[in-house]
Homo-oligomer: A and B are copies of this chain.
Amino acid sequence: MNDRPKALLFDVQGTATDFHSTVVAAAAATLGRRYPGRDWSAFVNDWRAAYFRGTAAVGDRWVGVDSIYRGALDELLTERGMDLPAQARAELNSAWKHLDPWPDAVPGLTRLRRRYTLATLSNADVDAVVSITRHCDFPWHAVFTAEMAGAHKPDPRTYRMAAHYLGAQPGEIMMVASHKYDIRAAAALGFRTAFVARPLEFGDPALADTAFSDEFDINATDFEDLADQLGC
């Protein structure tokens, strides 16, 4: 790229962090003794899918993602005939606030920080992204989340809030995500796009869409590759 962006916006859950391993481990630890032999990978993927339906369903109301995850967990436990005390449910739900980073994330971001303004643009609540930032030691300059716009991605208000807060035009900002719906929504508003393939996002590589596409400005295998391609 000859004409580089000024700022990069990062999706967090799935793109910068490995939620699947983190939440599978939490589910196995919390529920595994009561319900041995269950497929916790499938459980977490169903939970994540219910969360996605939840964020899409809230419409114009603002609903914090923490409560969407919790509602989805409660439904899932009922469906599967599993019981869990309230305190343990709250602890399991909070696993989404303590996600581990992909191994390339901090090294890649550390290289990118020298040259670009880095920020998050996550659907997770602000306190969750701050918690994850501290847990992972992510070196971005700022945290922006859907909560600050009162609307979830892919609602245009989220991307426009971030551009306003960065004091930059959409064309000066690159949205980085492993989810194509996210970067396509940003592209429709004039943002640049970087697709990062995360084959293990849902555990089984067959479940992740990792196909590179010319529709994106950059296709990267991880954050180190992104740093390479952005000249860092």
Contacts and interface: CB of A to CB of B under 8 A. Distances in A.
A165 B133 contact: no
A148 interface: yes
Contacts of A142: 126, 129-130, 133, 142-143
A80 interface: no
A30 to B, nearest CB: 21
Interface string A133-156: 110000101110001100000000
Contact of A130 (B129, B130, B139, B166): B166
Interface of A: 117, 119, 125-131, 133-134, 139, 141-143, 147-148, 164-168
Given A117-B130, A125-B167, A128-B167, 5 more contacts: A117-B131, A126-B165, A127-B168, A129-B142, A142-B143
Contact of A127 (B133, B134, B165): B165
Contact of A133 (B141, B147, B167): B141
Nearest to A148: B148
Contacts of A127: 165-168
A141 to B, nearest CB: 5
Contacts of A168: 127
Contacts of A166: 126-127, 130
Contacts of A139: 139
A125 B133 CA distance: 22
A1 B176 CA distance: 42
A112 to B, nearest CB: 12
Contacts of A147: 165
Contacts of A165: 126-127, 130, 147
A154 to B, nearest CB: 22
